[in-house]
Each structure stands twice: as structure tokens, then as C-alpha cells.
Amino acid sequence: MLLTIDVGNTRIKAAVFEQNTLVELFVFTQETLLKETEHILNTFPKIKKLVVASVGNTEKELFLSLEDIVEIHFITHESKFPFTNLYSTPTTLGIDRMVLASGAVIQFPNQNRLVIDTGTCITYDFVDENDNYLGGAISPGLRLRYEALHHQTAKLPLLTNSYPENFIGNSTQESIHSGVINGVLLEIDGFIELYKTQYPKFIIILTGGDTEFLAMRLKNTIFANSNFLLESLNQTFQYNQND
């Protein structure tokens, strides 16, 4: 058994895998990282390996404190990936984006792929059919947009995700929801249409914390999987082991 951990900007997601089968999923905060990881390892004593994307020094030290009970592997820029990285600043490309691109190549071979991760930020990553990573885009996610409207203005309230009843908001709250939610939906569909101008055919993979909230409202046909990063982390590790 193997444990993968994704340290995100706002929360930590972990998954236990038996080969390529996801056995159980966990979500917790950075403050409880060590406690929750120890709990998972105690609950699943058959876990022999822990795989985590490259993280800050503080989190890395916490993980290393567990090396007496589990074999620890970090996915970093020095790891092997199943694509050619054509990013002009490859060392600045986030490990999470590299892992997502890796999973897209492994799960969907020989085709163009667009991975859209709807987390704290919305990231777009494109890998062509020849396994060249071309780049993408980064924009604020839903939570950041709500927070920006609240913190950068004098009177707008802090709201959470909610579908607007109408795109014409008839109150301040409905106007905020319309601007944030419809803004993100139109952005995602708009980016997809832009990619279509250069690549008429490609698969779209939607993942991240807001996947389920957004998936049904998008115009384009997508493959929605909120756990795609954790699955890709497992597959990237296996790729490094087998290469």
C-alpha cells in the first residue's frame, strides 16, 4: 500500500492506494498534518511508502520525522516526468502542475490534454499529443475572488460559493455571486474556446476542490475528477520507480 499527500494552499488531501486503486481519501489542515498522517499510517499498517509533492522546509521536516516507520519519497523538479517541459522558466513551474500534466500523459496517452485545476488558484496546463508540456495560465479561484471583493472594498460582504438565481443580480449578494460564479464559468469556457482555435481536438480534465460545484455548469464536455492530482501523484511515483 502507498500513501500520497498533496499539500495545498488551504488544506491537505491524502489518499491511500492499493496499486492504482484509491482505497480511502482524507482531508485535513496543515496544523494537523503530522497527527493526521500518523493516524493514517496506524489505520493502514500495510502502507510501506509515503509519496508527497515537494513542499516547504517546515512540512518536509515533519514528513522526515516519520522516516523510521515509512519509506518517504518526495516528487521534485529533479524527478522524472513522462513529458518534455517546454516552459520557458521550468524551475518555476509548480510541482502540482507538473504532477497533473504527468497524470494526464499517463492516463490519456497520444492525445492533446488540457488540465484545469480549480483550487485556491485556477490553473490551466496543456500537454500536446507528442507529450510536450506547453504551459497554460493561472487565475484567482472562487474563494480568492470572494475574499478580494470583501477585503479590497469597504462594504461588500464575504460570501461563499452559491449559484446565482439569475445572471442579473437583483441584490448585492446576488450580484457578487453572479460576478464570481459566472465569471469563473465564462473564463473556463472561454479558455477552452481559445485552445480550440489552435487545437481542434483535445481532452479536458477538470479537477481541484471546486470540481463538483463547477462541472455541471460548464458548456464543454469534460472529464471531471476531483482526486486527479492524488491519482497523478501515485502514477508519477510509479513512473519513477519503473523508469
> What's the one-letter identity of residue 69?
I
Task: Give how far Cα 185 sits from Cα of 88, 161, 230, Å.
Answer: 28, 13, 24
Query: What residues pair up with 15 in beta bridges, in sequence order?
Result: 4, 25
Q: How far apart are CA 147 and CA 121, in angstroms?
A: 13
**Torsion on CA atoms 223, 30, 91, 121, rounded to nearest 10:** 50
Q: What angle in degrees, to the nearest 10, is found between the helix axes of 183-198 and 142-151? A: 130
Q: How far apart are CA 56 and CA 59, in angstroms?
A: 6
> What's the one-letter identity of residue 79?
S
The grid coordinates listed for 109 are 496517452
Look at the chain and count its residues: 243
Catalytic residue among 6, 68, 96, 131: 96
User: Is residue 131 among the annotated active site residues?
Assistant: no
Instruction: Detail the DSSP E strand segments found in the chain.
Output: 2-7, 12-18, 21-28, 49-53, 71-75, 84-85, 113-118, 121-127, 132-140, 203-207, 223-224
Query: What residues pair up with 124 in beta bridges, in sequence order?
Result: 116, 137
For the annotated catalytic residues, the residue numbers are: 96
